[in-house]
Amino acid sequence: CLWHCCCLFLLMGEQNRVPLARAKRYAINPLGYKWEHFNITYKITKFPNTLSKNDTRKAIRIAFNKWSDVSPLTFTEITKPNKSADIIIGFYTFNHTDCWGSPLHPCFDGLNGELAHAFLPPRGEIHFDNHEFWILGKSRFSWKQGAWLNDLVQVAAHEVGHALGLWHSRDPNALMHPNATYTGQRNVAQDDIWGIQRLYGCLDKKRVCDPWARLGFCERRRSFMKKHCPQRCDLCYEPLDAVTTPTSPPANVKIKVVPRGKVVGFRCGTKNTRVPPKVSWYKDGEQLVTSIPGYISIKGRDLRIVANEFNEGTYTCRILRRGSVVSANSWAIRLKPERSSNNS
Calpha distance 129→94 (Å, rounded):
8
The C-alpha atoms of residue 50 and residue 68 are separated, in whole angstroms, by 27
Q: How far apart are CA 322 and CA 123, in angstroms?
A: 43
Q: How far is it, in rounded angstroms, from Cα 90 to Cα 70?
A: 25
The reply, when asked if residue 323 is annotated as ligand binding, is no
- Order across the sheet with 133-135: list the strands: 133-135, 147-151, 140-142
151 labelled ligand-binding: no
Residue 264 phi, psi dihedral angles, 5° rounding: -110, 135
Q: Is 98 annotated as belonging to a binding site?
A: yes
Say if residue 127 carries a ligand binding annotation. Answer: yes
Dist CA 295 CA 290 (whole Å): 11
Paired with 13 in beta bridges are: none
Residue 302 is assigned to a ligand binding site: no
Phi first, then psi: give them for residue 114, nearest 5 degrees: -75, 130
Enumerate the active-site residues: 159
Contact status, residue 218 vs residue 233, Cβ threshold 8 Å: yes
Give helix then strand counts, H and E, for the chain.
Answer: 7, 18
Angle at 91 between CA 87 and CA 96, to 5 degrees: 90
Is 129 flagged in the annotation as binding? yes
Residue 132 annotated as binding? yes
Q: What are the b/e assignments for 3-35, b being 16+ CB within 10 Å?
A: bbbbbbbbbeeeeeeeeebbebbbbbbeeeebb
284 belongs to an annotated ligand binding site: no
204 is in an annotated binding site: no
- φ and ψ at 105, to 5 degrees? -125, 105
Query: Which residues carry a binding-site annotation for Ca(2+)?
Result: 86, 109-110, 129, 132
Query: Which residues carry a binding-site annotation for Zn(2+)?
Result: 96, 98, 117, 127, 158, 162, 168, 176
Query: Which residues carry a binding-site annotation?
Result: 86, 96, 98, 109-110, 117, 127, 129, 132, 158, 162, 168, 176
